[in-house]
Structure 1
Amino acid sequence: MDTSKIEEFKKKLLEGWESLLQKSNEDEIAGLGRERIIVFIVAFILALALWLMVNLSRDYTLNIELPIELGAVPDEKALVQDLPSNATVSVTGEGWKLINLYNNPPTIDINISNTEINLFDQVQQQMSAMLNISIQRVQPQNLRVQLGDRVSKKVPVRSAVNVNFSEQYGFLDPPTISPDSITIDGAATLLEDIEEWSTDSVQMNNVSTDISRTVPLEPASELIRLSESEVRFEAEVAEYTEGEMQANITTRNLPPGRMVSYSPLAIRIKYDVPIQEYADVQDENPFNVHVSYQQILEDSTGFVTPQIEEKNKRYHIKLRSFQPRRVAYFIVLDN
């Protein structure tokens, strides 16, 4: 056997053995490191728990923000101004209890029987059920509230819904809101200038079908109550097409012995009409065009603007434009 090959084999065998021993040592060291880390973590947690048990059993003083809500108010009275949103309360007690109080602060309901409120007493009464917690200070300690006579008022609902239609679509009739009015309740001085109540601003885009949906009303302050929180917005939507016609100009309230001639004699009108009504509208002249004789008497330019009115209200016609906008006139005396 070739000795050089034997030596080469022995060399590789020794290198493999040394590599195996080195890897085993590294794994052992890593294992020891992990065990030490685990022991350290457990010891730290136990120490921290012991420290918390000892220290949180002591008494501390803590300032806490407690939210304020309106409680009972005499039936015939209502607030004119908002209450503060919260009160700063200084409390003393065991650390454990204070942590729970800090994480879950109770709401203080302010009961109003007169215009002077001792906030300290109301906070103390409502937190008396919390054992081993004492109230040191409440800021503000006293509240002065303004009360007014409570009234109710019925006002119409105004739509703040903005509808953008797909091309050639539009309302068939004006949208309806149900209910169309609501009752508001509060202090008389707050309601006297309110003549209507608006819905929230709602945007609807690319509309091509009938609409039927609820719309929230504009939120009221805590001082005003609404009989409804939302209304129903409904509307029929139709596809429109363009129509065009020519109409002669007539004169209204023309006195005897007078005749008026116009130049031009007729105007051209463009309008939109639902597709399903187009054929019926085309069969008849849907518009009257006239000028009042009073317009002519009051004019000094020689030109007047014709008035256009729809003949038949059963159609859903929308006037787009008419030309010319002003026409010349000539008064002719009838001999």
Structure 2
Amino acid sequence: MEKSKIEEYKEKLLAGWESLLQKSNEDEIAGFGRERIIVFLVAFILALALWLMVNLSRDYTLNIELPIQLGAVPADKALVKDLPGTATVSVTGEGWKLINLYNNPPAINIDVNNAEVNLFDQVQQQMNAMLNVNIQRVQPRILAVQLEDRISKRVPVHSAVNINFSGQYGFLDSLTINPDSITIDGAASLVVGIKEWATDPVEINNVTKDISRTVPLESPSELISLSQREVMVEADVVEYTEGEVQANINTRNLPLGRMVSYSPLAITIKYDVPIEEYADVQDENPFDAYVSYEQILEDSTGFVTPQIEENNENYHIKLRSFQPRNVAYFIVLEN
């Protein structure tokens, strides 16, 4: 039975049912009577059942697409390219069995041990074990595969999580990923070029509390396996406030007999600090502002940009800006 033959049977059944519904409208029920309709239904069902029994007990030939799944592979080898998604299989058997096979085509597990796989033999073995049908043809009959040595590699996990904070909230420290690396496994040519593995692009909005949640890793191809499929991302979240401080400009690496004067003498630095740390930071100057003597030697404009350095690592300070961006300088020779 060809695929079109099955479709033809389905169309006949549907056409018969629609015809029956049309004949069962109120006008015809009034003419024939309810009893005659029931007798007609019973007779139709019996005739249909007899027709199916006679016709579907015959042998037919059907072409179907069977899904292919990767079965056993040598432990030290891995595929370089995916197997084809399906194989076209021509089968012969009773109509009842072919209808079931057509509606629910089973997946075929393909064992790969060599560079060539006899797809006909593997399909025949598995189909005969499942259904009493005869395999006439399999396309492709021989499947060429490419195997390479299997290797494992440890790579860092890259976060693709996008955090959007509410108001003045932000990280106390940086976002942490646990574990921060995973093991990937597959064919050498596929694995060797992978430097990191990303999480799924997850977005978390209006954050005001500490973060602790699992995030899926980016899905690999069927040729690559991961030691795990998700990681934990964590971070402490606090509310920040703005601070401001004046810092005098110093000169570093100044040679003997030299002195540099700046205009202005100090710059204004604006920064964000957690509300809980604000009072402590105000009691001391948390920044150093400096210009290296090498900057001055390389300059030809008479203006340099000060460098800002945090001098206390006990605070969680985030530099926002400083003014002015450039200052004038004057070199004074000492006697």
Report the TM-score, using the length of structure 2 for normalisation. 0.89
Tell me how far 1:45 sits from its aligned partner: 2.5
Residue 39 of structure 2 aligns to a residue whose secondary structure is helix
Tell me how far 1:104 sits from its aligned partner: 2.1
> Partner residue of 2:314?
314
> Partner residue of 1:334?
334
Tell me how far 1:161 sits from its aligned partner: 0.4
1-structure distance, mates of 2:132, 2:304: 89
Tell me how far 1:131 sits from its aligned partner: 4.6
1:192 lines up with 2:216 in the alignment:
no
1-structure distance, mates of 2:167, 2:114: 61
CA-based RMSD:
1.8
Residue 102 of structure 2 aligns to a residue whose secondary structure is helix
Superposed, 1:2-21 pairs within 5 Å as none
Residue 75 of structure 2 aligns to a residue whose secondary structure is coil
> Partner residue of 1:4?
none
Superposed, 1:21-40 pairs within 5 Å as 30=30, 32-40=32-40
2-structure distance, mates of 1:306, 1:37: 99
Report the TM-score, using the length of structure 1 for normalisation. 0.89
> Partner residue of 1:5?
none
Residue 315 of structure 1 aligns to a residue whose secondary structure is coil
Q: Which moved more, 1:46-55 or 1:165-174?
A: 46-55
2-structure distance, mates of 1:107, 1:100: 14
1:165 lines up with 2:161 in the alignment:
no
Q: Which moved more, 1:33-42 or 1:292-301?
A: 33-42
> Partner residue of 2:72?
72
AA of the residue aligned to 2:178: S
2-structure distance, mates of 1:64, 1:270: 72
Tell me how far 1:258 sits from its aligned partner: 0.7
> Partner residue of 2:20?
none
1-structure distance, mates of 2:237, 2:306: 31
Tell me how far 1:109 sits from its aligned partner: 1.0
Tell me how far 1:301 sits from its aligned partner: 1.2
AA of the residue aligned to 1:191: V
Residue 30 of structure 1 aligns to a residue whose secondary structure is helix
AA of the residue aligned to 1:175: L
Residue 39 of structure 1 aligns to a residue whose secondary structure is helix
> Partner residue of 1:110?
110
Residue 214 of structure 2 aligns to a residue whose secondary structure is strand
1:204 lines up with 2:218 in the alignment:
no
1-structure distance, mates of 2:332, 2:34: 116
Superposed, 1:38-77 pairs within 5 Å as 38-77=38-77
> Partner residue of 1:281?
281
Q: Deviations over 1:102-132 (max 9, x none)?
A: 2222211111111011100110111112453
Tell me how far 1:48 sits from its aligned partner: 2.0
> Partner residue of 2:12?
none
Which structure 2 residue ranges, 5 or more long, are not aligned? 1-25
Closer, same or farther in 2 for the Cα pair 1:35/1:324, shift >3 Å?
Answer: farther
Which structure 1 residue ranges, 5 or more long, are not aligned? 1-25
> Partner residue of 2:302?
302
> Partner residue of 2:6?
none
2-structure distance, mates of 1:211, 1:102: 50
Q: Deviations over 1:141-188 (max 9, x none)?
A: 111111111111111111010000101110110011011111111111
> Partner residue of 1:94?
94
1-structure distance, mates of 2:94, 2:278: 83
- Identity across aligned pairs (percent)? 79
Superposed, 1:112-131 pairs within 5 Å as 112-131=112-131
Residue 46 of structure 2 aligns to a residue whose secondary structure is helix
Residue 128 of structure 1 aligns to a residue whose secondary structure is helix
Residue 129 of structure 1 aligns to a residue whose secondary structure is helix
**Count of aligned pairs between the two proteins:** 310
Residue 314 of structure 1 aligns to a residue whose secondary structure is coil
AA of the residue aligned to 1:279: A
